[in-house]
Amino acid sequence: MPLEIIRIPVLSDNYVWLVHEPQSGETMVVDPAVSGPVLEEADKRGWRIAAIWNTHWHPDHTGGNAEIKAATGCTIIGPEAEHARIPTLDVLVKEGDVVSLGTAKAHVMEVPAHTAGHIAYHFPREAAVFVGDTLFAMGCGRLFEGTAAQMFGNMARLAELPAETDVYCAHEYTQSNGRYALVAEPENAALIVRMASVDLMRSRGEPTVPTTIGLERATNPFMRARSVEELAARRAAKDAF
């Protein structure tokens, strides 16, 4: 059975993902920026949050940890390399570890650069990946604690996942990313078509994520950068865009 994945929009542009595995009835939440809307959404569905999975330490990804744990007694899982900066963590994970949600199994991928210990959770069988702030629709995370070379490696690894893999990123940055992407690749026909659709969706107030690995391969100027230097130049240009 596929995972049930609920998008919870919070703060100005964050998405928290509530994930339910129907066979076991287990529920977890990825990167709860806040607690209130997450607990409400779970309650409404009759789901009990058994775990929080964090991708990195930033407060807009971990701010709800303590209150959700106090309310539910859940276990908090996150990157070993950031344990000092996420004091609420119970279980530390690293590259190659497998984390279970009922019968669904996610592989931990270390994708440093946005933060030094950033991880992603990839469910191969369910064809889903939770990427935090590493990969966005037509964008990538800012390089706060890492290098363009690391981000280039992250993009290459993520691009190798099957095209149909759904990509759950943590922000609605798509339209702004797409405007820059059109500057980076003005002749990219797939990008032009995608942006027309994104503009329409945003004009109606609709979300544009999840995306897919296939769509990002075709339209994401960071995943499509041919060298570390090109990714670095594009990241710098986007930062100033």
Pairing assessment for the beta strands 75-79 and 91-93 based on DSSP bridges: parallel
Contact pick of 133, 172, 185, 216 for Zn ion (by CB under 5 A): 133
Which of 17-25, 83-91, 133-141, 177-185 is the region at the interface with Zn ion (rule: CB under 5 A)? 133-141
Q: How far is the CB of 21 from Zn ion (least distance, A)?
A: 26
The three state secondary structure string of 3-67 is CEEEEEEECCCEEEEEEEECCCCEEEEECCCCCHHHHHHHHHHCCCEEEEECCCCCHHHHCCHHH
Query: Binders of Zn ion: how many residues, by CB under 5 A?
Result: 2
Q: Which is nearer to Zn ion, 52 or 195 (CB)?
A: 52
CB of 113 to Zn ion, least distance (A): 11
Of the listed pieces 44-52, 130-138, 185-193, 232-240, which binds Zn ion according to CB under 5 A? 130-138
User: Do 85 and 39 form a contact (C-beta atoms < 8 A)?
Assistant: no
* CB-nearer residue toward Zn ion: 105 or 142: 142
Catalytic residue numbers, as ranges? 56, 58, 60-61, 114, 133, 171
Q: Which residues are within 8 A (CB) of 186 and not within 5 positions of it... i.e. 6 or more apart?
A: none
- Are 139 and 177 spatial neighbours (Cβ–Cβ below 8 Å)? yes
For residue 2, give the DSSP letter.
Answer: P
Among the listed residues 144, 116, 132, 114, the one whose alpha carbon sits nearest the alpha carbon of residue 52: 132
134 secondary structure, DSSP code: S
Minimum Å gap between C-beta 217 and Zn ion is 23
Note whether 31 binds Zn ion by CB under 5 A: no
The sign one gets for the Cα dihedral 63, 66, 68, 69 is positive
CB nearer Zn ion, residue 21 or residue 133: 133
Nearest Cα neighbor of 213 from 151, 150, 156 is 156
Interface map 47-86 toward Zn ion (x if CB under 5 A): -----------x----------------------------
**For residues 204 and 200, what is the distance between their CA atoms, to the nearest angstrom?**
7
Comparing CB distances to Zn ion, the nearer of 58 and 235 is 58
> Smallest distance, Å, CB 56 to Zn ion?
6
Q: Which is nearer to Zn ion, 20 or 118 (CB)?
A: 118
Residues that bind Zn ion (CB under 5 A): 58, 133
